Structures are given as C-alpha cells and as structure tokens.
Structure 1
Amino acid sequence: MGKRMPIQRVTIFKISCFEILIEVFLYQVTTINKLIRQLTTIIISHPNFPLQSCAISYLVQITVIR
C-alpha cells in the first residue's frame, strides 16, 4: 500500500479515457490511497465531468486490485 507510483504516465491500468485525468493529477499523487482520494474528490466536485463514470469504474478496479 505504501508503494510509490512511478512519476510518469500510468498505463498499467490501461484505461484510455482516463489518461488525461491521470496525467493532470499524477504530479501530486504519490500513493494508491492518494490517487483514490483524488479520484473521489474529482467525482464529488465535478458532477457533470465527462470522465466521471470512467473515474468511478477506475476506483472500482483499484479497490478490487487491493
């Protein structure tokens, strides 16, 4: 859980519609927990965000992986 995410484009999850979001926020995301928090914040604060459903499925996959 305390593993650091590589400081580069995250492609391990291979969710193409999510890449822009990941690239924007990756510089301040260092752990999976921080990534989950960040995604949750995005989902809450951008109800009409085009990638919201993608963010939700991304969160689900991360939760399943853990």
Structure 2
Amino acid sequence: MRPDPVHLAFPTRPHRMDPRAVESIERIVAAVRDGDDAAIRILLPQLATVADTSALFHLREQLLTQ
C-alpha cells in the first residue's frame, strides 16, 4: 500500500492543535461511530470555527482509523 501523499505533506500533530478542535474531533468521531447524524450536523460547524488544516487532516485520519 502506497503512503497517502497528502498525509506525508501535512502530518497531523494533535499536540499543536487548538484544544477546542481536538475535543470537537473526538466528539465528531464518536458521533460518526454511533451513527448520530444530528450530532454530526451540530458538531461540524463548531469545528469549523476553530479548525486549521492540521485539525482537518487529523479529523480525516481519525475517521479512517477508528
């Protein structure tokens, strides 16, 4: 399996992310795992207010690996 070039260019570093983004990502991943569409619709706009590129790639990574 070839490495994802986007992942290599933008490694995620949760320790550098805004703690609010980390919390939002954790809640989004849990909502996706639970199939809670209503919570996802609420949480995504909240993440958008504090997320940067690193946070979005971290969300992507968490959704793919959870």
State the TM bucket, normalised to the shorter chain.
0.3 to 0.5
Q: TM-score, normalised by structure 2?
A: 0.39
Larger Rg: 2
- More contact order relative to length (CA 8 Å, sep ≥ 6): 2
Structure in which a larger fraction of residues adopt helix: 2
